Amino acid sequence: MTTTRPFQQVDVFTDTAFLGNPLAVVLDGTGLSDAQMQAFAAWTQLSETTFLLPPTPEGAAGGADYRVRIFTPGAELPFAGHPTLGTAHAWLNAGGQPRQAGVLVQECGVGLVTLKQLGERWAFAAPPLSRSDISAEDLAPVLAALELDASEVIAAQNLNNGPHWLGLLVECVDTVLALEPDHAALKKLGTKVGVAAKRQAPDGGLIRRANREARAFTAPGTRIANDPTDLEVRAFAAPVGVTEDPVTGSLNASLAQWLMADGHMPAAYSARQGTILGRAGQVFLSQDAQAQVWVGGDVVACVQGFVTL
């Protein structure tokens, strides 16, 4: 039996529609089976589709405002960043009332995730990160699939904050933008890879300014002059059915926790992602006095209506 359910599609990590990472949100997933959720996510062909549900009793006891299940076209995820921000926006836009003003608590596969309002935008608390070194032997086939030479890699880590990513920090932005991975090889390896490079100002320092116009209306593959962001990021996720993700909150969260801890990036910076795909996603990363990393971004509503599921 099918039911008409409220539905929204939002664009995440952008203040300009169609330049971020789109997310489909089914605002009432009650009664849907795992197979139905997965089938709809495969049909949307977006990097993620979410389904809102009431909190479990355990989640409610922990303060959850709602529960969310997150699906790629090929699998369910325990956590993902752009669905976290996008679902929160959709829930609030649909009339959701948080228990505490300026704070949301989301229940998902990794447990409870806190979001809070930081100025004009919401940010989520990066879940605890597990990370480890990767051996040269394990790294070699990944670099071969990326057509990267080991000499171009500054640092590499296995990163896991729910989703697992192999994080690579490389020498320059041009290297990141020039990558043409063998996605079939990455899928066979079962490895999702995030590649990043620091963007340098002419004086060698990080670029630290905001300019909305500089990052809007960019043709695919175009590099932006005087880009206001500090880090260029690309995310390759063939093992979950997404060759390249436009803007990835979970990856940026784990990259920030790693790169800040190891001194590669400062305690506050912004990252750009999606350039090669014609997007201009911007992720705002900051670490508070308690060493908690917060991941923020703008969200724009694009479609509101109903879906029959």
In whole angstroms, give the CA distance from residue 38 to residue 97.
Answer: 28
Amino acid identity at 107: E
Contacts of 263 (CB under 8 A, 6+ apart): none
Closest CA to 251 of 196, 170, 197: 196
Helices (H), the chain: 34-44, 57-61, 81-93, 136-146, 173-178, 183-189, 249-261
DSSP bridge partners of 68: 52
Look at strands 268-273 and 281-287 and give their pairing.
antiparallel
Backbone φ and ψ for 50, nearest 5 degrees, come out as -120, 155
**Which residues, in sequence order, are CB contacts of 90 under 8 Å at separation 6+?**
8, 10, 23, 25, 27, 52, 301
DSSP one-letter string for 232-285: EEEEEEGGGTEEEES--HHHHHHHHHHHHHTTSS-SEEEEEE-GGGT--EEEEE
Does 244 participate in catalysis according to the annotation?
no
Give backbone dihedrals phi and psi of 192, rounded to 5 degrees, phi first.
Answer: -95, 135
Bridge partners, residue 104, by sequence? 115
Structure tokens at 145: 């699939």
CA–CA separation, 19 and 168 (whole Å):
25
Active-site hit among 48, 107, 232, 244: 48
Residues assigned a catalytic role: 48
